[in-house]
């Protein structure tokens, strides 16, 4: 068994799926929305990056930026349709689930209509070089995926700690009711949150598309894994999402290597069930009474 190969794959998967899970956790903890349209935003971002590669430039920075920008715009669209109109209505959590699921279904069909069922591929934005590290060959896409995802997520978290808008988002994460009382606009903050987390989905889409193809339904599996990691880590906990991403990334790499890719989801959900049986709120869940109410 090639331990180095498995660990490198696990790290790449953990970084990409962890980026999605962190976005979902931030969305839930700040605005109370479980965004099931994340898969649509993921696929939309992939097509945005593909259009940029086709008609603007194949430069990696251009393609990556186009994916992130498209994801941010997709997040703002979801916010305008599924958060702003209903965030102050009764049973918002359930209404939000239904609304984002509807956006995902309609949006996916729209992508299928516009781009067709044929899969698209993105250019290699990180080049074709490789590094031999202690007998383990690390390709450019693996190194690039890990480096870019860590840098961007770190930058987002630092921005949330230091900027005024970031502090408003953190206040919403801690106590939404108190934050609204002291004058923090729920709708304005919702747009910031959804654009940032949509951008993270766009980043993950471009990075994952270095290995897989872009298709209208290509965001479904990443969304399932992102939601699974967010639930396993504890909705609202960034630290829990990171830990869960590492655990489930290692599980996926081991399962794919030892049993085959068709068993990945089976072992993943068995592991998630085992974790939630021991810790019902997730590895580091921070659900509070106000949110549960």
Q: How confident is the model at residue 1 (pLDDT cuts 50, 70, 90)?
A: low
Secondary-structure percent of the chain, ordered helix, strand, coil, rounded to 5: 75, 5, 25
Least confident of 116-125, 181-190, 203-212: 181-190
pLDDT tens digits for 155-171?
988 988 888 888 888 88
193 near 84, Cβ under 8 Å? no
Domains of the chain listed by start with CATH number: 3-292 (1.10.3470)
Q: CA–CA separation, 124 vs 237, rounded Å?
A: 33
Query: Which tokens in the block code for residue 111?
Result: 């992508």
235 near 243, Cβ under 8 Å? no
Q: CA–CA separation, 35 vs 83, rounded Å?
A: 10
In this structure, what DSSP letter does residue 263 have?
G
- CA angle, 1 as apex, 246 and 138 as ends, to 5°? 60
pLDDT tens digits for 16-47?
888 988 888 888 888 888 889 999 999 999 99
Share of the chain above pLDDT 90, in %: 27
Mean pLDDT of 186-191: 85
241 near 282, Cβ under 8 Å? no
Backbone angles phi, psi at 29, to 5 degrees: -70, -25
Q: How confident is the model at residue 288 (pLDDT cuts 50, 70, 90)?
A: very low
Query: Which tokens in the block code for residue 167?
Result: 């502090």
205 near 67, Cβ under 8 Å? yes
Contacts of 58-67 with CB under 8 Å at 24 or more apart are 58/123, 59/125, 60/123, 60/125, 60/126, 63/122, 63/123, 63/125, 63/206, 64/125, 64/148, 64/203, 64/206, 67/202, 67/203, 67/205, 67/206
Least confident of 39-48, 70-79, 87-96: 87-96
Q: Which residues contact 238 (CB under 8 A, 6 or more apart)?
A: 22, 25, 26, 157
Q: How confident is the model at residue 11 (pLDDT cuts 50, 70, 90)?
A: confident
Backbone angles phi, psi at 133, to 5 degrees: -115, 100
Q: Based on C-alpha coordinates, what's the Rg of the chain?
A: 19
* CA-based nearest residue to 42, from 115, 104, 126, 95: 104
pLDDT reading at 79 higher than 90: yes
pLDDT reading at 122 higher than 70: yes
The listed range with the strongest mean pLDDT (30-39, 169-178, 181-190) is: 30-39
């Amino acid at each position: 068994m090639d331990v180095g190969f498995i660990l490198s794959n696990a790290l790449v998967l953990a970084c990409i799926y962890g980026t999605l899970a962190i976005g979902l956790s931030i969305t839930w903890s700040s605005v109370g929305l479980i965004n099931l349209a994340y898969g649509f935003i993921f696929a939309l971002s992939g097509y945005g990056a593909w259009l940029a590669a086709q008609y603007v430039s194949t430069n990696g920075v251009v393609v990556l930026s186009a994916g992130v920008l498209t994801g941010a715009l997709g997040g703002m669209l979801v916010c305008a349709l599924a958060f702003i109109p209903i965030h102050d209505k009764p049973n918002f959590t359930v209404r939000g689930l239904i609304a984002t699921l509807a956006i995902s279904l309609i949006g996916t069909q729209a992508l299928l209509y516009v781009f067709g069922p044929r899969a698209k591929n993105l250019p290699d934005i990180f080049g074709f070089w490789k590094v031999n590290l202690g007998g383990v060959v690390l390709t450019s896409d693996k190194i690039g995926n890990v480096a870019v995802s860590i840098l961007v997520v770190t930058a987002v978290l630092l921005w949330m700690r230091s900027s005024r808008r970031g502090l408003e988002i953190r206040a919403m994460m801690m106590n939404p009711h108190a934050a609204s009382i002291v004058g923090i606009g729920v709708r304005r903050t919702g747009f910031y949150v959804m654009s940032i987390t949509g951008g993270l989905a766009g980043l993950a889409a471009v990075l994952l598309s270095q290995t897989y193809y872009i298709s209208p339904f290509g965001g479904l599996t990443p969304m399932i894994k992102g939601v699974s990691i967010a639930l396993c880590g504890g909705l609202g906990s960034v630290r829990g999402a990171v830990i869960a991403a590492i655990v489930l990334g290692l599980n996926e790499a081991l399962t794919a290597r030892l049993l085959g890719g068709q068993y990945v989801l089976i072992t993943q959900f068995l592991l998630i069930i085992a974790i939630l049986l021991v810790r019902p709120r997730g590895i580091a869940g921070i659900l509070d009474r106000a949110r549960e109410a």
